[in-house]
Structure 1
């Protein structure tokens, strides 16, 4: 009995978590760096539950197949006195899967991707991961996917990140976003939430909200460049702000299909702003979507509170454009070329629905 009692005392005084999790990485940034550096290809690293791994130097770049299970842990760059570095950097042939983890406080004073960068030939999968409070001098405050890279972002939260373009996410590669949220990210240029520079992007069952783009910029929520292919489905693009001139919610210069979604409460607030909800100069197909309560409210000839089309191809299919507003007419849909309407309603926009450029299917 005395021996058993002594054993119990030893466990209690030596730290229950350490005794219970002998195979998990000890709770220190140094231990995490060593675990990544020495992990075999295909290995899974388990972190201590709810531990905060403080980093004072960069983690080793990932050039192998590796899974890190966070178990609710946080990996954070340690404050203002710590040198600048991104948290995770994935090189060619690297395949990193992060699960149930918070990535916080990355700072890239050069290059893209302060929280996580995926280089050409690399791959990333996030599942239940928060990417927070990271700042890039270039692009992709939270996550950057370079041309030739790929990423899957599932059940994750990307917020409070900052960059020149793509405050939350900057991509030139192949990206899938599902059941995730991009919120309160900021671009000093374009694409407060997401900036798609090239490649393909799918966003499904997700929320893009309260992101901002500043200056003479485009796309408070999402910026889609020419030559890209994008699909957004079953999602909400809401309450984003562009203080520049084009696209409070979405700027589309590529090929965008927007289905079964909501574009609402977005604002383009710069002088002569265009497209509070959506600005289009590419190919835009909108189906079964509600575009409402967006505004182009800047000074001068701010126009097209709902949708502004500048020479692009637009099809509105079983869609509603309602209760949008702009400084000058029209407040609903402004286009300088014919567009296609299929069972679509454009109504109750201020000051008009589509005048002075009236097109077939829209009346005031």
Structure 2
């Protein structure tokens, strides 16, 4: 059952109130009886949870029913193996989080048994707050509900409409698979109205998958994470996550590592080895951005977007929003479209309203490959009217190739319709069939104190299209 608009029913809540002492003076009795004294502030409770699933379920239910924040301390390195879903919410293994709960994992794992029916591990209601520390969430499988209004599968490991904080934890080997559409193989945060916020710190998001397996056009998005609400990411690793769609359905595989539909900040993180696959459809990079995303001191490397006979947009990122990269390295990413497909951006591809800012950053060693087809922009493709601005950045050793009779243009940058302004930057040692450094089909490319050199077979094409570019 889809939980995009689901709200778990609030459990009974016990209210603690003070009881005033009895006064014997008859004259004041009526006045005192009419007074309403405030309840004392609810205090935080800490509970040690035995290495037992029933004990964990009972602890969550008690925490939901008590006022104030609660901390559940799991048994050290215990594996809580869930066999059946929660009776009140068959889409999740544990009771929905409806209050303020901290789970101190102490190295414990909460997982779904392989023989169990499909359910995610955790759901945070819009009234809930979950802080997850030193815990592994694994084996979750968001159920597919094709007949439920809205349908789809959301959040294979965790789905949150409330406030979610994950620290020093692992979200691994979870899946959202659907015949309608799939979102957030590892974590889904927030809903379409922007309700819900998440924070990831010192956490591993790995080997999660979002899969669309239907037979009409649809999508899978956010193999690791999909966010519809504000998201903050620090010192976190997104590795080996995937999105896949059914071949030849013209479907979209978006953001193998993460898909952003709300404001996101990423710092000091690694995004590596993620893959988006859409045979005959559209595959869009490790990151799919439709919002405002700020990335600082991060490495985005060795990610792949593959669309045989279709379109691949950016091995590292497909950007239809505003993407700012500062002191960030985008290296060794690949966008491929064999069998006569189209590739835009071996590293980064911009949509018609996309804006990309590179500040003291590097785009290096990325490849756009389209045997028998069209490859545009080994490093960056700005071919639909977006805006690119660089400051003290390097675009080097990128390649656009299209063997078997295809067309490859713009080894470093391909520009059409939109505008690209390079300030105090360098475009060097890139390769393509034409426009080894920069190919300007239309739009404007402006060089301010920027070197374009040692590109093959030429630096800029067509001749004289880029003022200040020689050869």
* TM-score normalised by length of structure 2: 0.70
Cα offset, 1:23, TM superposition: 5.6
2:254, 2:467 → 1: CA distance?
A: 33
Are the aligned partners of 2:304 and 2:315 in contact in 1 as well (CA < 8 Å)? yes
The partner residue of 1:154 within 193, 201, 206 is 201
Choose 1 or 2 for highest CA Rg. Answer: 2
2:231 paired residue number: 175
Q: 2:256 aligns with which of 187, 192, 195?
A: 192
Offset of 1:362 from its aligned partner? 4.8
Look up the match of 1:329. Answer: 409
Higher deviation after alignment, 150-159 or 277-286: 277-286
Q: Secondary structure at the match of 2:285?
A: coil
- 1:206 aligns with 269
State the Cα distance separating 1:359 from its structure 2 match. Answer: 2.7
Q: SS in structure 2 opposite 1:30?
A: helix
**3-state secondary structure, aligned to 2:223:** coil
- Superposed CA offset, 1:134-189 (max 9, x none): 00122000000123110000000000000121000001111000000000000111
- Other-structure match for 2:97: 62
What secondary structure, in the 3-state scheme, does the structure 1 residue paired with 2:221 have?
coil
Secondary structure at the counterpart of residue 33 of structure 1: helix
Within-5 A mapping of 1:333-344: 333-336=413-416, 337-344=418-425
Distance 1:35 1:240 in 2: 41
Distance in 2 separating the partners of 1:47 and 1:96: 15
Structure-2 residue corresponding to 1:260 = 327
CA distance in structure 1 between the aligned counterparts of 2:284 and 2:52, rounded to whole angstroms: 40
In structure 1, distance between residues paired with 2:124 and 2:296: 29
Matched-pair contact (CA < 8 Å) for 1:280–1:309: yes
1:193–1:200 CA distance, 2 compared to 1 (3 A): same
Quick check: 1:136 aligned with 2:206? no
1:27 to 51, 59, 62: 51
Quick check: 1:341–1:361 contact (8 Å CA) kept in 2?
no
Separation (CA, whole Å) in 2 of partners of 1:32 and 1:168: 26
1:116 to 127, 147, 158: 158
| CA distance in structure 2 between the partners assigned to 1:342 and 1:331 by the alignment | 19
Separation in 2, partners of 1:239, 1:266: 4
1:279 matched to 2:349? The reply is yes
Q: Which residue of 2 aligns with 1:47?
A: 74
| Unaligned ranges ≥5, structure 2 | 1-45, 85-92, 145-152, 211-219, 245-252, 402-407, 440-460
Q: Which residue of 2 aligns with 1:91?
A: 125
After superposition, the C-alpha distances for 1:270-321 in whole angstroms (9 at most, x for unaligned) are 1221101100121111110000000001221112110000210110111100
Report whether the alignment pairs 1:224 with 2:289. yes
- SS of corresponding position for 1:339: strand
TM-score (norm 1): 0.90
CA distance in 2, matches of 1:256, 1:363: 30
Aligned-partner Cα distance in 1 for 2:195–2:82: 29
State the Cα distance separating 1:93 from its structure 2 match: 1.3
Q: Distance in 2 between matches of 1:83 and 1:28?
A: 19
> Does 2:438 match 1:354?
yes
Aligned partners of 2:396 and 2:414: how far apart in 1?
13
- Of 370, 374, 389, 1:298 maps to 370
Q: Secondary structure at the match of 1:63?
A: coil
Superimposed CA distance per residue, residues 221-265 of structure 1 (whole angstroms, 9 cap, x where no aligned partner): 10002xx11101110110000003111101100011111100011
Structure 1 stretches lacking a partner, 5+ long: 1-21
Deviation at 1:361, TM superposition (A): 5.6
Contact 1:229 1:254 in 2 (8 A): yes
- Quickly say closer, same or farther: Cα 1:361–1:54, change in 2 above 3 A: farther
How many angstroms apart in 1 are the aligned matches of 2:412 and 2:430?
A: 5
Moved over 6 A (4+): none
Structure 2 CA distance for aligned equivalents of residues 23 and 113 of structure 1: 27
- CA offsets per residue over residues 186-209 of structure 1, 9 Å max, x none? 01111000011x220111100110
Partner deviation per Cα, 1:27-54 (whole Å, 9 max, x = no partner): 1222111111112330100001011011
Aligned pair in 2 of structure 1 residues 360, 171: CA closer, same or farther (>3 Å)? farther
Q: Distance in 1 between matches of 2:469 and 2:164?
A: 45
For 1:18, the equivalent position in structure 2 comes to: none
